[in-house]
Chains A and B, each alone.
Chain A
Amino acid sequence: MASKQVPLIETVDLRKSYFSEELETAVLHGLNLTINEEEFVSIMGPSGSGKSTLMHILGFLDQPTSGKYLFRGEATRTMTDDELAAIRATRVSFVFQAFNLLPRTTVLENVMLPLLYHPTIPASERRDRAMHAIETVGLGDRATYYTNQLSGGQQQRTAIARALVTEPDVIFADEPTGNLDSKSGNQVMEAIQELHAAGGRTIILVTHEQNTAQHAKRIIHLRDGHIDSDTTKFKRLNAKKNHNLTK
């Protein structure tokens, strides 16, 4: 398969600066990163190290300042706005720390939202697909609830259902449990893990918590916009060893 030869995500000297009134804040300082299909990657690092910034670029929510971002071997820099929109609609999904659900809207409608913009899924299938995704995250009995009638964990699971309803290749989750207590956090992590276990999907997860990160096979540490370490565990023992090395 072609996907075996071409990595899903590849960055070359990826840089990002924010500009405000002539002032440049360099956040990412030339990242080289390769992520293959069906990987489960955790990104860790201190606050302000650029994790979210990286995720937004990889998730097609923002543009890098310089460097290359290849998605399935295709350079993204030259893509038109419509091409980028098409990738967001079909290939990638994002789960935000702040949920970002539509206010005053039901769970079902929130989950159906991406399907409105999906180029190939027919309108007649939207409801079924959305219900299926909602059941996948264990919210079947809450489908008609308004999002403000849900707990934080339920809201985040709604956001996860919204992320997986289009059956994307990659799901980006930026501290999905950051606003949740440990019990809700565990439920959300379970949902994410099951998604990966079901196969065929790449998951990239930002987290602060060591035990959350342990769900992933590969952990990338960022520090001040550089990759500090990038370790893949093959066995549990190795993982611990690697982890200790990076400390």
Chain B
Amino acid sequence: MLVIDTFQAARKSLDRNRNRAMLTMLGVIIGVGSVVLMTSVGASMEELILGQISSIGAQSMVIFPGQQEGAEGTVQAGFDSITFSDIEALEKLDTVTSIAPAMFLPVPQATYGRETTEPRVIGTVPNYFRNRELTLSAGRLLEDADIRGARNVVVLSSEIVDDLFGKQDPIGKRIKIGSRFYEVVGTLESVGTQFFQNADEFVFIPLSTARAQTGQKYLNVVSLQAVGNFDLAQSDVETLLRKRHGIVGDDDFIVRTSAQANDILGAVSLGLTLFITTIAGISLIVGGIGIMNIMLVAVSERTREIGLRKAVGAKRRDILLQFLIEAIALTVIAGMIGVFLGLALAGLVAGIVDKFLPTYDFVLSLPSIGIALCMAFATGLGFGLYPARKAALLSPMNALRYE
């Protein structure tokens, strides 16, 4: 038998059994398509979530006032526990540096000309920008002189710039925050969302200015960096604060470290991976069972066909080659449709979700596409070829009589 005849025979056989071919392909398409879709969406979600939990750097620590969750119920005790003199004491430690105390100001709105916006106002020091890895897009950051002089200057996040200035250059302009005017000295690059909060709607003024304005004696957050051994630095900080606060029981402050952040990161990432893998596995099993079913149902008809082909002179090789071509054609075509469809749907999902979460990106998971295709091939070939091989080994009569 000529190879081209074998291809023809396979093509005609698929054509003759179009419904069965379609159903088999559907199984492959569903299996492959849903794996591709789920893994792509899953990978996008993973990237999205991990992007939110931006690591705070291996040497970083952040101190919050208040109590560790669960220590004393949900009592919001000690929100004012970290004071300016604590900061001065921290600055004397050799094991930490880049100390950046910050306070949040309850200011309802900022205006420039006729434009208004509702920024979140932070009073802080130059270290803050370094610790948070915020970068300038124009002008300058807050400087030590601003702090010393308690100047009325401000650095704006990107969205605030958009809201107040549109396309105008904000540098040197004066905006009103609360009841006071501030000169814009710098603007920041956009950072998107972090921890699912918009990180682009801040304005930063000198800490001294904020303190003078509000009279607030405590700090809402302090970030700092360890010098040398991190654990040593952390215990120095904790010991110092406990001593200063006269603590015997529960702490009235919380120290967050990158180790904790990495733990959370790892757990979230692992959970997501497990979730996606489970769903992909289920999709594959569903598709695989579909393929299996159709092919097993077809076994008796196909076995009789093989008997007939052998009766009119087909060799085993002819039969196996025909069935091999059929199975490959089915799974390859359906597999490609499945990949295409899965990607198209994932793209659609990305397009829609992106409208609400701009940091959601379409992610292609190549290994899962490979695995899905391999599984589809394996089931298609296995359940298509194994019965064919068995039938081809029978005498023509036994195959013809098969029920």
Contacts and interface: CB of A to CB of B under 8 A. Distances in A.
Interface string B297-314: 000010011001111111
Interface in B1-50: 1-2, 5, 8-9, 12, 16-17
Contacts of B8: 116
B398 A62 contact: yes
A116 B396 contact: no
A194 B151 CA distance: 117
Nearest to A122: B2
B286 to A, nearest CB: 29
Interface string B365-403: 000000000000000000000000000000111101000
A150 interface: no
Interface in A80-106: 81-82, 85-86, 88-90, 93-94, 96, 100, 102-105
A81 B12 CA distance: 25
A90 B315 contact: no
A123 interface: yes
Nearest to B322: A116
Nearest to B16: A104
B326 interface: no
Given A56-B397, A123-B2, A88 B313 contact: yes
B312 A61 contact: no
B211 interface: no
A114 B315 CA distance: 12
Contacts of B305: 102
Given A63-B395, A104-B16, A118 B313 contact: yes
A81 B2 contact: no
A116 B312 CA distance: 9
Contact of B311 (A61, A82, A116): A61
A60 B313 CA distance: 10
A51 interface: no
A146 B63 CA distance: 83
Contacts of A90: 313
Interface residues of B, number: 27
Contacts of B308: 100, 102, 113
Contacts of B400: 61, 96, 100
A63 B397 CA distance: 9
A61 B314 CA distance: 12
A85 B315 contact: yes
Given A62-B397, A103-B16, A116-B5, A86 B311 contact: no
Given A56-B397, A62-B397, A117-B318, A162 B312 contact: yes
A10 interface: no
Nearest to B318: A117
Contacts of A117: 1, 309, 312-315, 318
B396 to A, nearest CB: 4
Interface in B315-331: 315-318
A81 B312 contact: no
Contacts of A61: 311, 395-397, 400
A100 B400 CA distance: 8
B7 to A, nearest CB: 11
B65 to A, nearest CB: 80
Contacts of B9: 116
Given A56-B397, A62-B398, A104-B17, A116 B315 contact: no
A162 B396 CA distance: 16
A116 B400 CA distance: 19
A64 to B, nearest CB: 11
A81 B313 CA distance: 10
A112 B12 CA distance: 13
Contacts of A86: 313, 315
A90 B315 CA distance: 13
A51 B7 CA distance: 38
A15 to B, nearest CB: 16
Interface in B262-319: 301, 304-305, 308-318
A109 interface: yes
Nearest to A59: B311
Contact of A113 (B309, B315, B317, B396): B309
A214 to B, nearest CB: 28
B401 to A, nearest CB: 10
28 contacts: A60-B396, A61-B311, A61-B395, A61-B396, A61-B397, A61-B400, A62-B398, A82-B315, A85-B314, A85-B315, A88-B311, A88-B313, A96-B400, A100-B304, A100-B308, A100-B311, A102-B305, A102-B308, A103-B16, A104-B17, A105-B12, A109-B12, A113-B308, A114-B312, A116-B8, A117-B1, A117-B309, A117-B318
Given A61-B397, A85-B314, A102-B305, 16 more contacts: A62-B397, A63-B395, A81-B315, A82-B316, A85-B310, A85-B313, A88-B310, A88-B311, A88-B312, A89-B312, A102-B308, A104-B16, A105-B16, A113-B308, A116-B8, A118-B313
Closest 9 CB pairs of A and B: A89-B313, A117-B313, A114-B312, A61-B397, A62-B397, A85-B315, A104-B16, A61-B396, A88-B313
